Amino acid sequence: MKGSYILLLYLPQNVEIKTKAKMFALERGYYAYVGSAMNSLEKRVKRHFKKEKKLHWHIDYLTVRAKLLKAYLIPSNVKLEEELSMEMAKIGRVIKGFGASDLKVPGNLFYFNYDPEYLIEELLRSLRLNYLTFPTY
């Protein structure tokens, strides 16, 4: 399956995340990360849930420190990552420079001081996007 995804994470304490080239000071709270996988969407999302992995993408440096709560898988033959990030910026505070190096958006990570699950689901419905959740409850 091809498509995009949104990860919902909880960071229990303030941390500094150092990636290969950048440092991000992240505060305690909820985060949503927008990504895409135009080869194997399910495999990419399952990888994000693993704590033991080679750190490659910016999100890898966060998933080993935060609790990954849920993923929204959005099947599509079209890459929706940029559009989803623009829409997420309307409901969450963008963490500038986190991810999105190949896109025309300030970042792919968004901060919330409360659980944004309902807002994310409303956003996906308003965009008329079908989605699956992982893990399924």
Q: Which long-range contacts (CB under 8 A, 24 or more apart) does 14-23 make?
A: 15/65, 17/61, 17/62, 17/65, 18/61, 19/55, 19/58, 19/61, 22/58, 22/97, 22/98
Are 46 and 71 spatial neighbours (Cβ–Cβ below 8 Å)? no
Residue 38's pLDDT is 87
Does 70 have pLDDT greater than 70?
yes
Residue 101's pLDDT is 66
Query: What type of residue is 101?
Result: S
Residue 50's pLDDT is 85
Does 79 have pLDDT greater than 80?
yes
Taking only the tens place, the pLDDT of each residue in 26-67 is 999 999 999 998 889 998 899 888 888 888 888 989 999 999
Taking only the tens place, the pLDDT of each residue in 118-136 is 999 999 999 999 999 988 5
CA trace torsion 16, 17, 18, 22 (10° rounding): -90
Closest by CA to 112, choosing from 84, 133, 90, 129, is 90
Residue 85's pLDDT is 92
Closest by CA to 30, choosing from 120, 115, 122, is 115
Share of the chain above pLDDT 70, in %: 96
The chain-wide mean pLDDT, for the chain, equals 91
What gap in Å lies between CA 11 and CA 31, rounded to an integer?
8
